């Protein structure tokens, strides 16, 4: 039920949605640009080096990502949540302690993991993957671990205070841009694969250096008074105990995301890993809207939970999930209906074997969006131990399914295993969230336009397949058509709420884009 007047609850809800819309629009644009830049770099590697070398780079990146997430100790979410929570409680001493300990813990963990990966790189490469050439990549990537961890923690601190531009500038854009620039120089002067590996680590190290320079020059108030000597050491223990379950959630989530790549490397060859990693990087284009929204949403909803404002949490959840579906469904359908065209253009003809895997992954990533920010909401409610348990169960299922399906079905089996685990974890988290708060995403205003558009999109696909040969230049046009049709479906099915207009107003104010025509159209169909 949508309130008709500006009661205190409605005011808080509108403020929450506008905060999320403003912050998420910045993060979304930055994330899209960052993903595109990173994707261009991957395409350049895939096109200028062999599938085996691209597979080695992908395996190295997976192992670096796992080590980095382990090293953050769950602080990338725990720090942001605790800062936002104690901001709601107006406890500055706690906030000071959280910042100090998060940086100290991240630095220590980063140093330990650097040493572990550096000295075990040969063992991992030869005994597990049977790829001695992977050892060099792991050694070079190991140097980047402490710097990558501190990048995550610094952006988490800014995130806890509601500042998103640091994440966009440094983590999303600058890091990927530096790697792309380094890569272009390498391809121009000395196309050696070893220099590609070196440049990737260098881009992370240089990004952290630039972030520290930014902090020194700007001297933000949040860093000006921090000192480990001025805080109660119980704050560090509290932060660690809250964050460790999130660490296990992050590790298990990484297992779900990367088990397919690692087990393909174990059961198959580096070439097969390379083929699969033509389809896999396209997934973030579908999930970028969700990840952008979560970065802003979680600290804000933590403040709402601290003030026991459950109604506002519920309505925010539903409205934001509707927007996620509207933004991502057309793109997911492009990947699902025209996968071979996409892969052939981006990576070349030799990668179209990953077409079916891309279709499976597109379906799974969209379902993940459709279920809404269930994990972030449970984190805000402090249900980190539950999240750890359910993610562990899903990760185990993912490993078992990969072990059963990869030997027989290869990359398609890997994609199916990952999507199955992803859908399972969303179902369980959504059931738990509903049981404790009655929050759920499956309302009529979300499902009606999805069903209508699904039928329309499939009809268009049948017609175009029968009468046209789809080439890549047609896909942007088809995407725009899909996006417009989804908007029309929202109007026809009368699926807009009052809060949607508030969201549009917030985006309009932040971006300067005139959306008055859309707002008038929505009001006509109310």
The structural domains of the chain, with segments of one domain joined by +, span 8-442
Report yes or no: 237 and 100 within 8 Å, Cβ to Cβ.
no
Contact 143, 201 (CB under 8 A): yes
Q: Please, are residues 79 and 156 in contact by the beta-carbon 8 Å criterion?
A: yes
E strand or H helix at 441:
none
pLDDT of residue 223: 63
d(CA 93, CA 232): 8
Q: Within 13 Å of residue 115, how many CA atoms lie on the same side as its CB?
A: 5
Distances (CA, A) of 298 to 17, 20, 151, 268, 516: 12, 9, 19, 39, 29
Round the CA-based radius of gyration of the chain to a whole number and report it: 23
Query: What are the CB-based long-range contacts (under 8 Å, 24+) for 44-50?
Result: 44/180, 44/183, 44/184, 44/187, 45/183, 45/196, 46/274, 46/278, 46/347, 46/348, 46/351, 47/347, 47/348, 48/187, 48/191, 49/193, 49/196, 50/271, 50/274
Q: CA angle 137-141-143, nearest 5°? A: 135
pTM recorded for the entire structure: 0.66
Question: What count of other Cβ atoms lies within 10 Å of the Cβ of residue 279?
Answer: 28
Which portions of the chain are predicted below pLDDT 50?
1-8
* C-alpha distance from residue 303 to each of 98, 274, 451 (Å): 16, 43, 35
C-alpha distances out from residue 384 to 177, 249, 488, Å:
34, 8, 40
State in Å, rounded, how far the first CA of the chain is from the last one: 14
- Residue found by looking up tokens 């185990």 in the block: 396
Nearest to 427 by CA among 360, 359, 375, 363: 375
- DSSP-assigned letters across all residues of 84-114: HHHHHHT-HHHHHHHHHHHHHHHHHHHHHHH
Return the pLDDT at 146.
93
The DSSP element (H or E) to which 228 belongs, if any, is: none
Q: E strands along 336-429, which residues?
A: none
**Class of residue 90 by CB neighbours under 10 A (exposed 0-12, middle 13-18, buried 19+):** exposed
Phi and psi angles of residue 91, each rounded to the nearest 5 degrees, phi first: -110, 90
Q: How far is CA 275 from CA 38, 96, 133, in A?
A: 17, 47, 19
pLDDT at 180: 92
**81-123 tens-digit pLDDT:** 777 777 666 667 777 777 877 888 888 989 999 999 999 988 8
């Amino acid at each position: 039920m949508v309130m008709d007047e500006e009661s205190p609850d409605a005011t808080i809800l509108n403020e929450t949605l506008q905060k999320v819309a403003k912050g998420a629009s910045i993060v979304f644009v930055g994330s899209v640009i960052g993903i595109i830049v990173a994707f261009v770099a991957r395409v350049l590697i895939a096109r200028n080096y062999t599938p085996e070398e691209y597979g080695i780079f992908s395996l190295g990146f997976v192992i670096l990502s796992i080590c980095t997430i382990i090293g953050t100790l769950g602080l990338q979410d725990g720090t942001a949540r605790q800062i936002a929570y104690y901001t709601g409680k107006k406890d500055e001493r706690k906030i000071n302690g959280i910042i100090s300990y998060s940086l100290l813990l991240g630095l220590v963990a980063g140093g330990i993991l650097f040493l572990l990966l550096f000295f075990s790189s040969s063992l991992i490469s030869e005994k597990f993957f049977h790829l001695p050439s992977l050892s060099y990549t792991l050694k070079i990537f190991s140097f980047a671990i402490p710097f990558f961890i501190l990048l995550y923690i610094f952006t988490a601190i800014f995130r806890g205070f509601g500042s998103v531009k640091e994440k966009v500038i440094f983590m999303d854009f600058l890091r990927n841009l530096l790697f792309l620039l380094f890569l272009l120089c390498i391809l121009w002067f000395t196309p050696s694969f070893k220099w590609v590996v070196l440049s990737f680590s260098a881009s992370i190290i240089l990004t952290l250096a630039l972030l520290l320079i930014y902090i020194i020059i700007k001297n933000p108030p949040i860093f000006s008074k921090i000192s480990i000597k001025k805080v109660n050491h119980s704050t560090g223990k509290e932060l660690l105990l809250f964050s460790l379950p999130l660490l296990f959630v992050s590790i298990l989530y990484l297992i779900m995301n990367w088990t397919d790549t690692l087990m393909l490397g174990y059961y198959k060859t580096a070439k097969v890993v390379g083929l699969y990693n033509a389809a896999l990087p396209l997934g973030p284009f579908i999930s970028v809207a969700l990840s952008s929204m979560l970065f802003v949403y979680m600290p804000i909803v933590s403040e709402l939970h601290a003030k026991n404002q459950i109604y506002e949490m519920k309505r925010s959840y539903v409205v934001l999930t509707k927007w996620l579906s509207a933004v991502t469904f057309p793109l997911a359908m492009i990947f699902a209906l025209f996968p071979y065209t996409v892969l052939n253009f981006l990576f070349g003809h030799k990668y179209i074997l990953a077409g079916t895997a891309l279709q499976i992954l597109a379906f799974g990533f969209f379902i993940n969006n459709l279920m809404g920010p269930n994990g972030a909401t449970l984190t805000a409610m402090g249900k980190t131990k539950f999240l750890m348990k359910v993610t562990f169960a899903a990760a185990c299922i993912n490993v078992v399914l990969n072990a059963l399906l990869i030997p027989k079905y290869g990359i398609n089996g890997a994609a199916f295993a990952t999507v199955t685990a992803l859908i399972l974890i969303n179902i369980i988290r959504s059931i738990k969230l509903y049981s404790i708060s009655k929050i759920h995403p499956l309302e009529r205003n979300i499902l009606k336009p999805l069903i209508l558009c699904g039928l329309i999109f499939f009809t268009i696909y049948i017609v175009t397949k029968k009468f046209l040969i789809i080439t890549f230049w047609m896909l942007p046009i088809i995407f725009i058509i899909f996006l417009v049709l989804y908007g029309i479906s929202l109007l026809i099915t009368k699926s807009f709420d009052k809060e949607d207009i508030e969201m549009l107003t917030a985006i309009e104010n932040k971006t300067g884009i005139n959306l008055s025509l859309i707002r008038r159209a929505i009001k006509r169909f109310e």
